[in-house]
A = this chain, B = another copy of it.
Amino acid sequence: MYICCLMQTKPFLHTILSPGLLNLYEVSNSIVVIIDVFRATSTMATALYNGAEKIIPVAQVEDCINIGKKLNAITAGERDGKIIEGLQHGNSPAEYPREFINGKTLVLTTTNGTKLLHMALEKGASEVLTGSFPNLSAVCNHLLKTNRNVILGCSAWKNRFNLEDTLFAGAVINRIKENFTIHCDSSLMAEDMYNLHKNDMYSFIRRTTHWHRLSAFGLEKDLEYCVTPDVANILPVYEAGALIAASGN
């Protein structure tokens, strides 16, 4: 009688601190979680949670306007924290309550998040989804269930490291690390930073450079919402050119 032992190795998890470092990692066999806490991926989760049919993330403003016209969709986006001229809406989750966004299509362009999403697609990610505190549990549950290699991709700020995306990566790692192989200093740091600040998140984010940038536009409430877990707990996945709520949500 033979007993067959199948050695099971845990899938890898890496954290990428800037889109400028994405090329150092093997993207093509990984699920890539796009993280842009302030505010693109928080807004995406919120819009889908509130019933948006789909979100088309585009890199260029011109594409946003053209696709919006063609699909009779809502156009939205920001550069440097402000609504772009020629678009209808900005990048605040508060702009997308159910009574407004339910059943509609949103075409969205943002400074950092949509850029990283397109980079991950170009590099052949096996699956692309978006993560933010408002949909923290949905992301973690999916990564645990799927059991594949994961790249947590911080969108950063024009390629510069930022704290809020790193904290979210740390929150994910904190929840799912037992199921993954993690040999990655970025991930160790991210979890340390999350543990250090998970109980003072609202005050800590006031120290970040992005807070100073965005609070100048009166967005304090937005930013606090964006670090609140599970208030829009849905899983946005990229399929056929758009982010949609994964089935089962």
Contact = CB atoms under 8 A, between A and B. Distances in A.
Interface stretch (A46-54, A118-126, A161-169, A219-227): A161-169
Contacts of A212: 183
B166 A189 contact: yes
A21 B160 CA distance: 7
Contacts of A192: 193, 196
A207 B158 CA distance: 30
Interface string A177-189: 0000001111011
A28 B157 CA distance: 22
Contact of A24 (B20, B162, B208): B20
A18 interface: yes
Contacts of A29: none
A215 to B, nearest CB: 13
Could you say which interface size class chain A belongs to? Answer: 20 to 34
Interface of A, secondary structure class, is helix
Contacts of A184: 160, 209
B24 A21 contact: no
A189 B209 CA distance: 12
Contacts of A159: 21, 24
A188 B197 CA distance: 13
A209 B193 contact: no
A30 to B, nearest CB: 16
A17 interface: yes
Interface in A57-96: none
Interface of A: 17-18, 20-21, 24, 157-163, 166, 183-186, 188-189, 192-193, 196, 207-210, 212
16 contacts: A17-B17, A17-B161, A20-B24, A21-B160, A21-B161, A24-B160, A157-B185, A160-B185, A160-B186, A161-B185, A163-B189, A166-B189, A183-B209, A184-B209, A189-B189, A193-B193
